[in-house]
Structure 1
Amino acid sequence: MINWRKVTRYSLITGLKLALVLAVVLAFYLIYLDSMLSQRFASNRYQAPALIYGRALTLAPGAVISQQHVETELAQLRYRKVTQVDDSGEYQSGNQQLHIYRRPFDFPGGPEMAQAVKVLFKENRIDRILSWPNGREISQFRLESPLVARLTPSSQEDRLLVGLELVPNLLVETLLLVEDRNFYHHSGISPAGIARAALANLAAGRTVQGGSTLTQQLVKNLYLTRQQTLWRKIREALMALVIDFRFSKNEILETYLNEVYFGQDKGSAIHGIGLASAFYFGKQVQELEPAEIALLVGVVKGPSYYNPRRYPERAQERRDLILQQMFEQDMINKNQYLTAINTPVTDIEDSSLVARSRPHYVDLVQRELRNIVLPEQWQSTGLRVFTYLDPQAQNAAEKALQTVLPQLSKDPDIEGAVVVADYRRAGIKALVGGRNSQLAGFNRALLAQRQVGSLIKPFIYATALESPERYSLATPLSDELLQLKIQGGEDWIPRNYDGEYLAPVPLYDAFVQSRNLPAVHLGLELGIPLIAEQLRQAGVTTPIEEYPSLTLGAVPLSPVAVTRMYATLANDGYYQPLRAVQAITTHSGLQVYERNIERGRRVFSESASYLVQHAMRGVISEGTGRALTEAFPNQRLAGKSGTTNDLKDSWFVTVDGRDVTTVWLGRDDSDSIGMTGSTGALPVVRSYLQQTGVVPGETEVPDAIATSAFHRQTGVQVPLACSDARRFPAVKQVLAEDIDCSGQQKEKSWLERLFGG
């Protein structure tokens, strides 16, 4: 006979022992979870990308910029064109004026609030900028920086971290109303919610309601898989209890708002309310309206199912249901409710945060980031990388290369590169590394090392003009054929492109006509080592072979290196390294890096730089760049063409009042393309400048320069009144006085000798 008393006693003791063991195991597991979660949740909750921004368009009275240019920028920033401006992110266009309501934005120097202005234009210039509505004139106004790319972590999760203080209270209240009403009153799990969900699911015969709190949802998103098992649900509950015990409700809520999933942007997952508000509405989170808040809260339940761009009807139904709940709970008034339910689900059709990829420019940014000391584990805070990229200049450069190349040749293997740099700010504003600008791969702007031909000549002439007592723009240079013996090789016999050899040619004419022999003679006279050293000082970092052929550009350089060199000439002879990255902050605005632009090192004197630029303007007005004069008359545009042997490389560089623009065309296999600098690269430059416009070159003459006259044949200085004379700018210090039309010193009269006149 069974002794039930003993069985019961044995069962109770065994049960107590098992319970004790389970309690000990649970205690140790909770200690483990506490140790693990406390560290991970505090310091490594999620990974955030590096968001790359272009330059902020700055408007100021007197700036050369058209109304259309500003409107294009506003469209790229996804501003809404309206008939009456009421809210940030809107603008109104009128006759010679724009009414703009800029969004709030965290610039590298700190956050700026939303601001409304009226910008008045006059003949493609900004006339005045008025603060609105008070009408006070202001000296400067800038739009926010455009997002141009994102460097996502290995997890392919994308987010823009925002602090809880930036999130509207209405959004927080609505989220808690819909997802977790007792968030501030439970301990991480809600037994009542679990029971309520269980009854609802039991009644429906399927899963229709979840009982998870926001804390549990967060744990599941951060640390667990989506596998539906009992053990996973137990772990989820235990981890939620630990996090709720260790961290404040606001910390948990902020983490949830930065982690919650909102859908896909191409290959990247959109996480967090900060990026979601920009993705769906083109707004910062603090600008969200009730209708937008309701939609985002609704999307949380099923980002794919309630995608407002793919399924607008069901997304609107979900949004309107939440709006009704907000109205019933007195979170919005009747007018707000009626306005919200009549608002379109989303008026931003573009489903991508970044309109166009910029793989070649981003490649440059990534290379620079490797040389900048960044915080360890920066992915936990995210980075905002502010660059010099001008989206309109970039678009124009890409379009110029893509449209002009097929017009020049049917050969699909002819490639190209374009680099545009603001030489005053030493920033690269556009970079295209191939005719297919959307294809990542070999970045020819950075990596293609090609001989530069006549592009080297300005630096030979600048080196000579550093000695004004010996050389001026009028100095005759030999144009005679020469033959140099090369040790261990064939003799070098340089030739002019036209096959002709003239009498001594004035330095200016030799420059403008891009004659080879005068440059060779002058380079040999100056010394090849000196020229090579000047090139290094001007920014050439690759090896330079110091052979006589250097005088004709027998040195391989990348388009970026060429741009650095010409930026030195344009910047009054000062070298500054060109950069893409201007500043870096964390997502919260903490400054990580700011570029300090100094004057740079002196390579050429201001006088020599000015004289070379004067000759480069001659290239445009009467030399190999004449085609640009027809397109841009009276703009003081300077330039230089470059062509290599057998027409393998076509180069053209222009300098205006702000930018250096470099274009290279060629084949990757170095076969001939059959184009000179003027017939190949120049049309691409012209197309680019026609889209962006030319900033007129400076008209101010350095104090050390004066206009003088020179004898046409001998190149000696003569009086300005002499009939057979040419006028050139020259260095005042070496100009003589009291000379006759032959350049000889006038004989003084006895009175002048007596009184020293």
Structure 2
Amino acid sequence: MPMRFLLKTLAKLALAVIITLGFYAIYLDSSLTKRFASERYQASAIVYARPLTFEPSAPLRLSQVLAELQQLRYLETSDLAQSGTYRRNGNQLEIHRRPFDFASGPEMAQRVRVSFANGRVSGVVSLPDGRPLNRFQLDPLVLGQVTGDKGEDRLLVGLERVPNLLIETLLLIEDRDFYHHAGVSLSSIGRAALANIVAMETVQGGSTLTQQLVKNLYLTRAQTLWRKANEALMALIIDFRFSKNEILETYFNEIYFGQDGGRAIHGIGLASRFYFGKSVEELKPAEMAMLVAIVKGPSYYNPHRYPERVKQRRDMILQLMFAEDLLSQPAYLAALDEPLVVPKGPRVGQTWAPHYLAQVKTELSQLNVPKDWAQQGLRVFTYFDPLAQKIAETSVANQLPRLSEAQELQAAVVIAEPEHASVVALVGDRKPQQVGFNRATMAMRQVGSLIKPTIYGLALEQGSGYHLGTILEDRPMELQEADGTIWSPNNYDGEFRGSLMLYDALAQSRNVPAVRLGMSVGIPAIVTRLTAAGIDTPIPAVPSLTLGSVELSPLQVTELYGVWAQQGRYRSFATIQALTDHRGIEFYQRRPPAGYEVFDEVTTALVNYGLRGVVNEGTGKALAQLFGVDALAGKSGTTNDYRDSWFVAYDQDKLVTVWLGRDDNQPIHLTGSSGALPVVAEIYSQLGVRALATQPPEPLQLSAFHPQTGVVIPLDCPEQRRFPAYPQNLPEQVNCEGELEERSWWEKLFD
């Protein structure tokens, strides 16, 4: 009886365990299947720079291209056999571009020859056929990543993009029976134990890939019997519910490859970029072996910290690949001689333009991005220009110590391309790696004389009675503010010139004439026009607005001057060009906005004539001495007590805004010309200048004005000033003084 009772009890307990396990398995099946199907991992938003584009006659120096090739970790070779290589021959570069999924679609690896002359691209031909190309672009630099909540980075890749040799090598080392077992393999455990004994080290693991995947996705690393049992049961369920290829693809995207600072590198796609600067399709046998070696223990087998240890394991894996006929003998011997990792440039994921990336994140939050983007991954294609960014950073680093010994002197730079309404470079701190306060987008500072073109534009509109030759008064004046205080505006040099032409007042940035003109067109009109030009921050409707008492960020100033650079139209500037998921499916493509008219084209041309005068002969004449007359237009800005130094300049291609100041708003004792202008000058000396188009639009025509009175006079007068103006119908009897001469009866007789 006792034995029978014991057996019954054990049978009941066994039945209870089986029922419990059954219910638990059903629960796991339901929850695990759903989670694995839709919530396997969080992918990063990978942020790319613009692709470097080669077009005949494009302004581009050979040295600049070489610098970017190094940033992209292209290798200089003699044969160009592999993609991601280049060869230099005098003023020519032969480049074997990597394959890449651009925003416009995938492009295969391609070889080209690019020729350079006089700081420009003189020709682009494909190789080996020598066919001329109108356009060719390199794969873009990775600017950084936007990670999910878990701080994990990965670049999702489909299994079809993973080389067969890499798949076979991984299975050889980690799970030889992957396609034959049901998620758990007793034979794999035995085979791994035997291989490890023979090698006298751990060369193979006993867990299947499915078990490793379950552990990484859902379980802790605690070495307990319950955890191992749970792992095995979950592996059986996943293997039953999903295909082997689905499991293998998930493994390749989930596998952990180490740390890059504070973020975790997950997935073969990002690992190949991080360690070798290339896509997974381009990996060579030695690189595949190294990545498989890291799988065993990313911290222990860190190639940057323990290169000898990693090389030993990599070579052992290569030996196994050769032994299993995955590699030929020549390929095996060549792989043994390969360096462990390529020399490190800027690391994938290290943000070397953090202020630009911060603006990208801000814009990304404003776009209609799918809420589940982290499951499919996000690829963010920007307008970021690494060459322009480096130039901006270097110019700030070079000029600030020359301008002031004070470390408190801060800087912000925005470089934009008005034609595309795009921001291509951005510096928010004198230390470009300083993460935090982004002065280029967040520092709200008074703009001083930068406000003046808006005032002059209002005055020069047709029907207002003003032209570039109009005489303005530069004499002391007093104005009563709303609170009853008296305001007496002064010029930056403390002097008054009496009377001068409107063109000279703008070119020389005289304050008092601008105040008089501003009061004439009206403060409400200035506020309205600034609002139309995109200013959405408070604008004080007071007389001091005429001298720039409004506070704007450097990015807002860039958009304001984009109006003058683009025929009087306001368009918001952006950093993001396109968005796709990690598989290349596009769901956002920015088209440069049409914008809306703030000033008509003719008025804009008149103001631009005056802003070219600022550079040709006014406060920005140092730029004309460097780059020639009429090459650039621009404007300086200086605020009260020399607290802010501004300069904005633009040519046919780019617009550069520079601000200098202190965060505590203390004086820096620099004007716009003595402070910000040298930074602008160095930027353009490196970027190159494409001279502005100067042909005035119809119906403007060149007219002559009397130097003292500003009245229109005949074109053949010996003393005159010439400016574009609306057509003037002068009576024939007007003399060079602008006076109407009375004709004698004899002249009238023969009229």
TM-score normalized with structure 2 length? 0.95
Match of 2:273 among 246, 271, 278: 278
TM-score normalized with structure 1 length? 0.94
Match of 1:574 among 564, 569, 577: 569
In structure 2, what is the Cα distance between the partners aligned to 1:106 and 1:131? 20
Structure 1 counterpart of 2:236: 241
Which runs of structure 2 are paired with 1:17-416 in the superposition (5 Å)?
17-197=12-192, 210-350=205-345, 352-354=347-349, 356-416=351-411
In structure 2, what is the Cα distance between the partners aligned to 1:202 and 1:84? 43
What is the one-letter code of the residue matched to 1:347? V
Deviates most, 349-358 or 577-586: 349-358
In structure 2, what is the Cα distance between the partners aligned to 1:120 and 1:363? 36
Structure 2 counterpart of 1:590: 585
In structure 1, what is the Cα distance between the partners aligned to 2:128 and 2:164? 28
Q: Secondary structure at the match of 1:481?
A: coil
Q: Is the 1:468–1:731 contact (alpha carbons within 8 Å) kept by the matching residues of 2?
A: no
Following superposition, the deviation at residue 480 of structure 1 comes to 2.6
In structure 2, what is the Cα distance between the partners aligned to 1:590 and 1:52? 15
Unaligned residue ranges in structure 2 (runs of 5+)? none
Following superposition, the deviation at residue 120 of structure 1 comes to 1.2
Match of 2:453 among 458, 461, 466: 458
Following superposition, the deviation at residue 229 of structure 1 comes to 0.6
Structure 2 counterpart of 1:482: 477
Cα 1:195/1:573, change in 2 over 3 Å: same
Q: Is the 2:176–2:188 contact (alpha carbons within 8 Å) kept by the matching residues of 1?
A: no
Cα 1:159/1:746, change in 2 over 3 Å: farther
Following superposition, the deviation at residue 541 of structure 1 comes to 1.0
Following superposition, the deviation at residue 535 of structure 1 comes to 0.9
What is the one-letter code of the residue matched to 1:231? W
Following superposition, the deviation at residue 190 of structure 1 comes to 0.4
Structure 2 residue 499 is matched with structure 1 residue 504 = yes
Structure 1 counterpart of 2:717: 722
Structure 2 residue 437 is matched with structure 1 residue 427 = no
Deviates most, 448-457 or 681-690: 681-690
Cα 1:570/1:749, change in 2 over 3 Å: farther
Following superposition, the deviation at residue 374 of structure 1 comes to 1.2
Structure 2 residue 443 is matched with structure 1 residue 448 = yes
CA deviations on 1:360-406 (whole Å, 9 max, x unpaired) are 11221121112111112211122111111111211222222233222
Q: Is the 1:450–1:557 contact (alpha carbons within 8 Å) kept by the matching residues of 2?
A: yes
Cα 1:487/1:220, change in 2 over 3 Å: closer
Deviates most, 542-551 or 409-418: 409-418
Following superposition, the deviation at residue 717 of structure 1 comes to 2.3
Cα 1:507/1:347, change in 2 over 3 Å: same
Deviates most, 632-641 or 535-544: 632-641
Cα 1:670/1:238, change in 2 over 3 Å: same
Cα 1:493/1:734, change in 2 over 3 Å: farther
Following superposition, the deviation at residue 7 of structure 1 comes to 4.1
In structure 1, what is the Cα distance between the partners aligned to 2:344 and 2:113? 27
RMSD, aligned CA: 2.5
CA deviations on 1:167-209 (whole Å, 9 max, x unpaired) are 1111111111111111111111002223445678899999886
Deviates most, 166-175 or 201-210: 201-210
Following superposition, the deviation at residue 635 of structure 1 comes to 6.3
In structure 2, what is the Cα distance between the partners aligned to 1:545 and 1:574? 23
What is the one-letter code of the residue matched to 2:649? T
Q: Is the 2:273–2:279 contact (alpha carbons within 8 Å) kept by the matching residues of 1?
A: yes
Q: Secondary structure at the match of 2:157?
A: coil
What is the one-letter code of the residue matched to 1:451? Q
Cα 1:392/1:736, change in 2 over 3 Å: farther
In structure 2, what is the Cα distance between the partners aligned to 1:216 and 1:575? 58
Structure 1 counterpart of 2:624: 629
In structure 1, what is the Cα distance between the partners aligned to 2:39 and 2:730? 70
In structure 1, what is the Cα distance between the partners aligned to 2:192 and 2:122? 64
Structure 2 residue 538 is matched with structure 1 residue 543 = yes
Following superposition, the deviation at residue 84 of structure 1 comes to 2.8
In structure 2, what is the Cα distance between the partners aligned to 1:749 and 1:578? 63
**Number of equivalenced pairs:** 751
Q: Is the 1:282–1:348 contact (alpha carbons within 8 Å) kept by the matching residues of 2?
A: no
In structure 1, what is the Cα distance between the partners aligned to 2:386 and 2:203? 47
In structure 2, what is the Cα distance between the partners aligned to 1:428 and 1:708? 38
Deviates most, 460-469 or 98-107: 460-469
Following superposition, the deviation at residue 718 of structure 1 comes to 2.3
What is the one-letter code of the residue matched to 1:327? F
Q: Is the 2:59–2:688 contact (alpha carbons within 8 Å) kept by the matching residues of 1?
A: no
Q: Is the 2:260–2:349 contact (alpha carbons within 8 Å) kept by the matching residues of 1?
A: no
Structure 2 residue 660 is matched with structure 1 residue 665 = yes
Cα 1:753/1:334, change in 2 over 3 Å: farther
Match of 2:651 among 647, 656, 671: 656
Following superposition, the deviation at residue 300 of structure 1 comes to 1.2
Q: Secondary structure at the match of 2:57?
A: coil
Structure 2 counterpart of 1:559: 554
Following superposition, the deviation at residue 734 of structure 1 comes to 7.5
Q: Is the 1:49–1:158 contact (alpha carbons within 8 Å) kept by the matching residues of 2?
A: yes
Match of 2:676 among 667, 670, 681: 681
In structure 2, what is the Cα distance between the partners aligned to 1:739 and 1:141? 60
Structure 1 counterpart of 2:432: 437
Deviates most, 654-663 or 322-331: 322-331
Q: Is the 1:265–1:351 contact (alpha carbons within 8 Å) kept by the matching residues of 2?
A: no
Deviates most, 264-273 or 403-412: 403-412
In structure 2, what is the Cα distance between the partners aligned to 1:389 and 1:429? 4
In structure 1, what is the Cα distance between the partners aligned to 2:555 and 2:639? 18
What is the one-letter code of the residue matched to 1:452? V
Structure 2 counterpart of 1:3: none
Cα 1:9/1:474, change in 2 over 3 Å: same
Cα 1:559/1:738, change in 2 over 3 Å: farther
CA deviations on 1:42-101 (whole Å, 9 max, x unpaired) are 111011111111111211011111111111111111111223322111111122211111
In structure 2, what is the Cα distance between the partners aligned to 1:227 and 1:208? 22
